[in-house]
Amino acid sequence: MPRTIGERKDAIPALAEVFRTHGFEGASLSLIGAATGLGKGSLYNFFPGGKEEMAQAVLDHIDGWFRDEVFTPLRQAAEPQAGIREMFRAVDQYFHSGRRVCLIGAFALADSRDRFAACVKDYFAEWVDALAVALRRAGISAAEARAQSEDVVAVIQGALVLARAANDEAAFGRIMRRQERRLLQGLPKA
């Protein structure tokens, strides 16, 4: 009979780290094996589709995390302001204050974009949309909310680029804090 524990899941954090560090092409099976502690046998047992299925599993996991921790709070928080604050908090935590890179952002820039196009596209579309919902609920017009959301999601991605380029984690926090302040101060009725 099969094991009750899905070991597949346990490999995902390590897989995510490898893909984040080396990209899709750069993440060789030997690196993946070293990072997860699994041999090819196990790897191809859990992910018969090979590297592509591994990456897809990681993307799905990231997607789920953001849905639960960021998008849903943004859409459903009793106070939209609280949802927005929660977004900045969760994002700062997730990206380890800029020391960690956004895998989906990195995939978007590389030619992995085409391979995982739907996933990459949906992730950002959902993020922008969820933030726009919060802003609209906070009293901003639909058009203005979309514009602000697009800008904020963009600046977060850019902050990750800058922080990593300069090897200066502090930069990420600085940019994030300014955006949060700007966004919340721009809302009506304080």
Partner DNA sequence: TACAAGATGTACCTATCGGTACAAACAAGC
Partner DNA sequence: GCTTGTTTGTACCGATAGGTACATCTTGTA
Contacting residues toward DNA, per CB under 7 A: 1-4, 6-7, 25, 27-31, 38-42, 44-46, 48, 50-52
Q: How many CB atoms lie within 10 A of CB 124?
A: 17
- How many residues sit in the footprint of a second copy (CB under 8 A)? 44
CA distance linking residue 135 with residue 140, whole number of Å: 6
AA identity, residue 149: S
Minimum distance from residue 80 beta carbon to DNA (Å):
43
CA distance linking residue 165 with residue 172, whole number of Å: 11
Coil vs helix vs strand at 12: helix
Q: Which residue of 6, 45, 49, 125 would you call a contact of a second copy, by CB under 8 A? A: 125
Residue with Cβ nearer a second copy (46 or 133)? 133
Which of DNA, a second copy, none binds 143 (CB below 5-8 Å, type-dependent)? none
Tell me, residue by residue from 156 to 175, as one string, x for binding to a second copy by CB under 8 A and - for no binding. Answer: xxxxxxx-xxxx---x--xx
Minimum distance from residue 155 beta carbon to a second copy (Å):
4
CB 163 within 8 A of CB 169: yes
| C-alpha distances in Å from residue 182, one per residue of 17, 85, 122, 127 | 32, 12, 26, 18
Residue with Cβ nearer a second copy (21 or 42)? 21
Which of a second copy, DNA, none binds 31 (CB below 5-8 Å, type-dependent)? DNA
The answer to whether the Cα torsion of 161, 165, 169, 170 is positive or negative is negative
CA distance linking residue 54 with residue 38, whole number of Å: 13
Q: Which stretch binds a second copy (CB under 8 A): 2-10, 40-48, 58-66, 120-128?
A: 120-128
Q: Residue 26, interface with a second copy (CB under 8 A)?
A: yes
Residue with Cβ nearer a second copy (67 or 113)? 113
Residue with Cβ nearer DNA (2 or 188)? 2
CB 136 within 8 A of CB 188: no
Angle at 133 between CA 128 and CA 135, to 5 degrees: 95
Binding residues among 90-109 for a second copy as defined by CB under 8 A: 101-102, 104-106, 108-109
